[in-house]
Amino acid sequence: MPEAAATLRHEFLRHDKKFPHVWCPGCGNGIVMGSLLRAISGLGLEKDEIVLAAGIGCSGRLPTYVDFNTLHTTHGRSLTFATGIKLADPSLTVISVMGDGDSTAIGGNHFIHAARRNLDLTALIINNSIYGMTGGQYSPTTPFGSRSTTSVHGHIEQAFSIAELAVTAGAAYVARSTVYHAELLDKLIAGAIRKKGFAVVEVISNCHVQYGRRNKLGGAVEMIRSYKQNSIRVEKAASMKAEELEGKITIGVLADRELPVSTEEYEKVRQRARETK
């Protein structure tokens, strides 16, 4: 509904920030931002109790536009700042938005440890398979054979599967969507924020300007249409063979488990410490 969207914009976008935003026309980041705001609005959280941290990149520019406690950190390190924030003040809802390079290249180590630690944080990873802000260099999720400014003759490395990486690293909640499946994304982000523990939502997004253009994938419309055509629900994919899933994007909740949450465990440590001399 247009009124609902206008209300959302009025409530959550900063009134004193210099718009227009820096993103290209058709960038999927806008859909992710809308989804995040719809999820937060639906959960009825207070703006004051939300911290939105980000790293560096196009995804890193998201927090500056929204009216929460926002933090734009160094490249790859937003989860480490988020860890300090959450431990020092567990009453805050801490969300970290990152790109594929920010979270799995320079931030890879922090990503797997944050997952292992199971701190009550939400990681929202916008995966557009490229370093967009810096002009189109390859990232850990750029597919084999792709063209980028640093792989003009075709990329020779394999790509990470971010959600699967999060599952293996021990995250309590792991989900994936694409920017085509915006309604699903709203639900997954809400589920991730509600989840007590480390929650990861990976969003496949389009960078048609840096990645799509160089790989003849079309513009925003063509790329988003391809997400619609190539996505398969996790439940359906479970009964399919590996060859059938080649090149497909599995969407939905990949993992949702109960594990001890560090902030709660640490309270027990404090109790034990106070009891000892």
Partner 1 sequence: MYKTPSQRILLQGNEAIVHGALAAGCRFFAGYPITPASEISEMLSVELPRVNGTFIQMEDEIAGIGAAIGASLTGVKSMTASSGPGFSLMQENIGFACAAEVPVVIVNVMRGGPSTGLPTSPAQGDVQQARWGTHGDHPVIVLATSTVEDCFTVTVKAFNLSEKYRVPVILLSDEVVSHTREAVQLPAMDEIRIIDRITPSVPPEWYKPYENNNRGVPAMSAMGSGYRHHVTGLVHDERGYPTQNPLEIEMFIRRLHSKVTKGFGDIQVTTPLMMEGAEVAVIAYGSVARSARRAVIEARKQGVRAGLLQLTTLFPFPRRAVDKVMRHCKTLIVPEMNMGQISREVQRVNHHGCRVIKHNRVDGNFITPAEILKHLITA
Closer CB to partner 1, 222 or 265, in the complex: 265
Closer CB to partner 1, 144 or 266, in the complex: 266
- At closest approach, how far in Å is the CB of 6 from partner 1? 21
Residues with Cβ within 8 Å of 139's Cβ and at least 6 positions away in sequence, in order, are 99, 100, 101, 104, 105, 129, 130, 131
- At closest approach, how far in Å is the CB of 271 from partner 1? 8
- At closest approach, how far in Å is the CB of 117 from partner 1? 9
Beta-bridged to residue 251, according to DSSP, are 233
Q: Are 202 and 255 in contact (CB under 8 A)?
A: no
Closer CB to partner 1, 85 or 224, in the complex: 85
By CB under 8 A, name the binding residues for partner 1.
14, 16-18, 47-49, 51, 53, 63-64, 67-74, 77, 80-85, 87-89, 91-92, 109-110, 113, 266, 269-270, 272-274
Closer CB to partner 1, 170 or 252, in the complex: 170
How crowded is the C-beta side of 33, counted as CA atoms within 13 Å?
23
Q: Are 70 and 64 in contact (CB under 8 A)?
A: yes
Q: Which of 224, 203, 207 is nearest to 215 (CA)?
A: 207
- At closest approach, how far in Å is the CB of 216 from partner 1? 34
- At closest approach, how far in Å is the CB of 21 from partner 1? 12
Q: How far is CA 2 from the centre of its chain?
A: 26
Q: Helical H runs in the chain? A: 2-12, 29-43, 78-88, 100-104, 108-117, 162-169, 182-194, 220-230, 234-237, 262-275
Closer CB to partner 1, 76 or 212, in the complex: 76
- At closest approach, how far in Å is the CB of 212 from partner 1? 27
Residues with Cβ within 8 Å of 118's Cβ and at least 6 positions away in sequence, in order, are 170, 171, 172, 197, 198, 259, 260, 261, 262
Closer CB to partner 1, 64 or 230, in the complex: 64
